[in-house]
């Protein structure tokens, strides 16, 4: 995983993937996608990693795809691993990754830099963040599953303003429409987001991953969902994680889930 435009670092149980191409507003190239996909897949296979964080730098998350790079690229750039392009590998990783995904957004987020947020479990942004999906204005169409996820989150008419009118949204708009978790002042953004990530990785990892998978299950009859949840809940009662939580509660101490994977 080597690409100067994508920085990958592990701190404790957290893998941070930083978009690092400020002179191009962190626009994503095929090579950058390949590095991101490798970092995500690698983190998901590593039991020590409990969270994956995406971030840019102050004033810019990402301007989306590098149009010059995409025009120069062809279908012949498929990845030998399964014949998938780096973009396809990234999109599949967004869907398949069981590790919680967190995005920290300051400033500009355009195109795929917005649609990828729909797959994140938590999205923290500054008051200066803006979100735009200018697909139709470029003669393109929605991607990354956004044509299904956006209407489900915010309703079809609201989603149409993003996906058809290419309207730019403020942080307050994004929060109102439901794809931003919290808004912070710029100077507090990364510290506040990190507090929540640290809280997340200190929780029982299997319980966290199970909760994520439950929320990602396809819609079903509520009785069927309740039955499935009850089955999983009952199984959790005999888990080592619950045993530790119960013992800590009875002993009036803080539980320690660091030994679990």
Helix (H, G, I), strand (E, B) or coil at 93: helix
DSSP strand E in 45-198: where? 51-55, 60-62, 101-105, 108-110, 122-126, 130-132, 169-170, 182-184
Does the global pTM surpass 0.85? Answer: yes
Going by the DSSP 8-state scheme, the letter that residue 194 receives in this structure is H
pLDDT at 2: 52
**H-helix segments, 59-155:** 67-72, 86-96, 112-115, 146-154
Residue bearing tokens 């991101």: 36
**Confidence tier at 75 by pLDDT (50, 70, 90):** very low
Contact by Cβ (8 Å): 234, 227: no
| Mean pLDDT, the chain, whole residue set | 94
Whether residue 43 has pLDDT greater than 80: yes
Whether residue 82 has pLDDT greater than 60: no
Q: What percent of the chain has pLDDT over 70?
A: 95
Going by the DSSP 8-state scheme, the letter that residue 250 receives in this structure is H
Q: What distance lies between CA 94 and its chain's CA centroid? A: 7
pLDDT at 77: 47
Mind listing the domains of the chain with CATH numbers?
6-201 (3.90.226.10), 205-251 (no CATH)
Mean pLDDT of 166-195: 97
**Confidence tier at 84 by pLDDT (50, 70, 90):** confident
């Amino acid at each position: 995983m080597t690409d100067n435009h994508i920085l990958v670092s592990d701190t404790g149980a957290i893998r941070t993937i930083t978009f690092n191409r400020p002179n191009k507003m962190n626009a994503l190239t095929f090579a950058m996608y390949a590095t991101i996909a490798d970092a995500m897949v690698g983190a998901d296979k590593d039991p020590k990693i409990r969270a994956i964080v995406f971030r840019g730098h102050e004033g810019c998350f990402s301007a989306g795809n590098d149009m010059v790079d995409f025009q120069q690229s062809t279908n012949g750039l498929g990845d030998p691993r399964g014949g998938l392009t780096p973009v396809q590998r990234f999109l599949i990783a967004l869907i398949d990754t069981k590790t919680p995904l967190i995005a920290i957004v300051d400033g500009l987020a355009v195109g795929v830099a917005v649609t990828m947020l729909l797959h994140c479990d938590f999205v923290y942004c500054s008051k200066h963040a803006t979100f735009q999906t200018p697909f139709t204005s470029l003669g393109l169409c929605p991607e990354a599953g956004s044509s299904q996820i956006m209407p489900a989150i915010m309703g079809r008419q609201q989603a149409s303003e993003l996906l058809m009118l290419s309207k730019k949204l403020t942080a307050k708009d994004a929060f109102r429409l439901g794809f931003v978790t919290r808004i912070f002042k710029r100077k507090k953004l990364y510290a506040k987001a990190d507090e929540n990530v640290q809280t997340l990785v200190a929780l029982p990892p299997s319980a966290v991953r199970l909760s994520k998978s439950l929320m990602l299950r396809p819609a079903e009859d509520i009785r069927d969902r309740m039955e499935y949840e009850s089955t999983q809940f009952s199984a959790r009662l005999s888990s080592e994680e619950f045993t530790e939580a119960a013992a800590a509660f009875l002993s009036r101490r803080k539980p320690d889930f660091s030994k679990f994977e």
